[in-house]
Amino acid sequence: MSARSRKLLSPYLVIASVIMIALAYLLGWSSVFSVKSVEITGAPTSQVGAEIEKSSQIASGQQLARVNPQSVARKIEKFLWVKDVKISRNWLSGVVAIELTPRQPLAFFNSDQVPGQTIDEEGQLFSLPGFKNSDLPLISAKSPESALRANELFTQLPENFRRNITSMMATSSNTFILEVTLNGRDLRIRWGDNQDMALKISVINSLIKLPENKQIKVIDVVAPHAPIVK
């Protein structure tokens, strides 16, 4: 037998091979390192948490080595309200942790057509389960881009004026109509673009104080130096 053959059959190589085979068995087939439970954080409701666990397709008793974090994450990212998901495996406790980061709604978007639909800062449309917030603006627009521009205007408006807005409509990417309640009166304001913001608010406040404007329903401040009332 050659020296090379004797080297290949050395006790150290045999022991190493046995250890590798044993580890492979423990990780891939043995119940020693198996899933004991799945813990989910960040789900908006317990019902949604159960739905996420079902979608993950992680089964109790499954070998931890066969839980592919990337594959599980891809399954969960199909939920549009999920912005980010992290999967970790605890080899000692057998716990698979799923950490969810929900998207943050900026405004309700075309919710008259799709109840509960919101939009976030990235322009992603989604419905966050269980979400309710009457302080968010209701925005109607033909595209998410227009909705983001409308929300940009909304956030730039002074708080004491913004809280009177019940809904906004983007007729184009830079032209907006506001539905407001001022002094107990429901009004439609043709706002135009986001220029001359302070002047437009001043003109609106002045117009609604005039006795002859008690019955008006529309204020047009597209050209704030020449406003129109109806």
**The pLDDT value given to residue 1:** 47
Q: Provide the whole-model pTM.
A: 0.72
Pick from 172, 169, 131, 124: which is nearest to 151 by CA?
169
For 190, half-sphere exposure in the C-beta direction (CA atoms, 13 angstrom radius) is 14
Query: Phi/psi of residue 10, each to 5°?
Result: -65, 150
Residues 6+ apart with CB under 8 A from 91: 33, 64
Token look-up 């830079």 returns 174
Burial of 93 (0-12, 13-18, 19+ CB in 10 A): exposed
Token look-up 């220029």 returns 195
> By percentage, how much of the chain surpasses pLDDT 90?
57
Dist CA 187 CA 205 (whole Å): 12
Show the domains of the chain with their CATH numbers.
Answer: 1-30 (no CATH), 34-102 (3.10.20.310), 107-229 (3.40.50.11690)
Pick from 87, 125, 85, 130: which is nearest to 108 by CA?
125
Q: Is the pLDDT of residue 98 over 90?
A: yes
Confidence of residue 128 (pLDDT cuts 50, 70, 90): very high
Q: Is the pLDDT of residue 182 over 50?
A: yes
